[in-house]
C-alpha cells in the first residue's frame, strides 16, 4: 500500500519537475544549477521526501553550501514559499554527537547562512517560507528541494570587483597563495564555499581568500583589487 502511495505522488511530481526546469531556464541561471536542484511539489515528511529525491535520480535532499546555491534555491522556491506559503526540507540533520546541524555530506553549514535561531536542536532541517533555514521534527509535512551532491564545485562565485580596495581588520585567511592575476584570485574564491572576499595584491602577486567574519570593511589601496562575493540573500518576509 505504502509503495503505491509514494509512486503515485512521484508520477505527479515528474510533470512538475519538467515545469520547474523550464521556469529556471527563463531565469537565465547556469545549466550547472539547473541540473543540481529541483523542487518536490507535494508535502511529505522528511523520510518520504528524501526517498522521493532518490527515486527521481537525485543524491538526496539539497545541500546549500554557498551563497550562490542558497540564492538559487531561494529564487527557485519563490512560488512555494510566498504563494503556497510552505517550507521545504533540505539535507540538514541535527547531529547529536557534534550538537549542531550538519549537511548530509558531513559539512558544517556556513556560519553566515540566514538562520532562524530558535530550536536548532530539532532533528530535521528545512528552508522556511521567509527564506531562513531552521530545524523541525522530521514527521512534519513539507515540500522539499532535491539536490545532486557530487562533482559540485562552482566555476565562478557571484560578486563584484572592488578596484583599488583592500579588506580591513583581517583576522585570518582561508587560503594564501601566489597567483598570476586578479582573475586567478577571483576564480580561487569560486572554488571555496566559505570564500566571502578574495584580496589580490599586484605588488606581491598574492591572493588571500577570506571567510565569513574575518574582515570588517574595505579601504582604499592602490595596489589591491578585491573580489567581494555576493552574500546570502536576506529574508524578504518578516518573521
**Secondary structure class of 54 (helix, strand, coil):** helix
Q: How many CB atoms lie within 10 A of CB 89?
A: 31
Q: How far apart are CA 37 and CA 49, in angstroms?
A: 14
Site residues for ligand NAG, 161-190, by CB under 6 A, read: 162, 165, 168-169
Given 95, 139, 156, 176, the residue binding ligand NAG (CB under 6 A): 139
Instruction: Give the orientation angle of helix 2-26 with respect to helix 67-76, to 10 degrees.
Output: 100
Residue 142-161 contact track with ligand NAG, rule CB under 6 A, x = bound: ------------------x-
Given 153, 177, 219, 230, the residue binding ligand NAG (CB under 6 A): 219
Site residues for ligand NAG, 28-57, by CB under 6 A, read: 45, 47-48
Q: How far apart are CA 28 and CA 13, in angstroms?
A: 23
Q: Which is nearer to ligand NAG, 65 or 225 (CB)?
A: 225
Q: CB under 8 Å to 108, separation ≥6 — which residues?
A: 100, 102
Q: How many CB atoms lie within 10 A of CB 20?
A: 19
Q: Quote the least distance from Cβ 208 to ligand NAG, whole Å.
A: 16
Q: Which is nearer to ligand NAG, 39 or 49 (CB)?
A: 49
Q: How far apart are CA 97 and CA 121, in angstroms?
A: 12
Q: Which is nearer to ligand NAG, 22 or 47 (CB)?
A: 47
Per CB under 6 A, residues contacting ligand NAG are 45, 47-48, 138-139, 160, 162, 165, 168-169, 216-220, 228
Amino acid at each position: 500500500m505504502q509503495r503505491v502511495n509514494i509512486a503515485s505522488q512521484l508520477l505527479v511530481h515528474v510533470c512538475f519537475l519538467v515545469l520547474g526546469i523550464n521556469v529556471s531556464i527563463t531565469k537565465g541561471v547556469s545549466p550547472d544549477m539547473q541540473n543540481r536542484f529541483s523542487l518536490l511539489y507535494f508535502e511529505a515528511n522528511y523520510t518520504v521526501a528524501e526517498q522521493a529525491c532518490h527515486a527521481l535520480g537525485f543524491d538526496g535532499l539539497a545541500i546549500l553550501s554557498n551563497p550562490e546555491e542558497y540564492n538559487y534555491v531561494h529564487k527557485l522556491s519563490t512560488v512555494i514559499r510566498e504563494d503556497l506559503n510552505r517550507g521545504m526540507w533540505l539535507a540538514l540533520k541535527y547531529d547529536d554527537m557534534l550538537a549542531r546541524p550538519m549537511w548530509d555530506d558531513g559539512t558544517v553549514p556556513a556560519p553566515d547562512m540566514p538562520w532562524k535561531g530558535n530550536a536548532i536542536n530539532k532533528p530535521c532541517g528545512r528552508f522556511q517560507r521567509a527564506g531562513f533555514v531552521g530545524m523541525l521534527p522530521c514527521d512534519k509535512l513539507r515540500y522539499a528541494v532535491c539536490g545532486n551532491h557530487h562533482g559540485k564545485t562552482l566555476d565562478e562565485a557571484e560578486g563584484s570587483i572592488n578596484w583599488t580596495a583592500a579588506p580591513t581588520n583581517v583576522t585570518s585567511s582561508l587560503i594564501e597563495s601566489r597567483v598570476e592575476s586578479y582573475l586567478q584570485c577571483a576564480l580561487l574564491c569560486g572554488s571555496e564555499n566559505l570564500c566571502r572576499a578574495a584580496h589580490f595584491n599586484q605588488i606581491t602577486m598574492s591572493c588571500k581568500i577570506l571567510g565569513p567574519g574575518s574582515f570588517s570593511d574595505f579601504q582604499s589601496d592602490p595596489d589591491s583589487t578585491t573580489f567581494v562575493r555576493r552574500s546570502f540573500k536576506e529574508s524578504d518576509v518578516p518573521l
